[in-house]
Chains A and B, each alone.
Chain A
Amino acid sequence: GENVEQHPSTLSVQEGDSAVIKCTYSDSASNYFPWYKQELGKGPQLIIDIRSNVGEKKDQRIAVTLNKTAKHFSLHITETQPEDSAVYFCAAGSTNDYKLSFGAGTTVTVRA
């Protein structure tokens, strides 16, 4: 099955700085790579996703890059704000069924 590894497990950044989270996956058949934000006591919320036919996708302060050859993908948050503090998860799966394998999560803290 798919194995997704996520690094770092914790990340502390100064407000206004950038945050980068990296994930690797093992199954070359995976073609769907979403990222989720989870706030305390809530379910994961999709913030951005990328499919394997593109290498980069951007949405305001958030961007995701994908390197299919190396089997890794990354989340970039620019100009971080205190409300970006949360746990972020990467995941990998197939658009055939959207059955996802998740990374272990990164706790991001933005210092004011």
Chain B
Amino acid sequence: NAGVTQTPKFQVLKTGQSMTLQCAQDMNHNSMYWYRQDPGMGLRLIYYSASEGTTDKGEVPNGYNVSRLNKREFSLRLESAAPSQTSVYFCASISAIEQYFGPGTRLTVT
């Protein structure tokens, strides 16, 4: 997972609480992505950012917001967590010649 860092690694929230998942890359890529991984379903795209200041919805954006404040960082925010958002969240940084996924954040909402 070289080049992409995610914090925190683990988090437990109560229903209705909010939190921000942080992601940073040091490869100077324009494009960054947030995916969630649930058992037996592969990864699903939540949000995507083609460049600093731009974001676009993916397949499952409901309940999430994102922010691309600069080229390096792309954060994912849960405003009011729900048990259905219990999942493992991966950030990815992709260019035409290389790509890396972060180590993931395991989130449990009770």
A95 to B1, CA, bound (A): 22
Contact partner, B31, options A34, A98, A103, Cβ 8 Å? A98
B90-110 interface with A by 8 A CB criterion? 90, 92, 94, 96, 99-104
Report whether over half of chain A's contact residues are helix, strand or loop; otherwise say mixed. loop
Known contacts being A89-B43, A101-B59, is A43 close to B33, with CB within 8 Å? Answer: no
Chain A residue at minimal CB-CB distance from B44: A102
B50 contacts A97, C-beta separation under 8 Å:
yes
Residue B74 at the chain A interface, CB threshold 8 Å: no
A100 interfacial by beta-carbon distance below 8 Å: yes
Residues of B within 8 A of A (CB): 1, 4, 31, 33, 35, 40-45, 48, 50, 58-59, 90, 92, 94, 96, 99-104
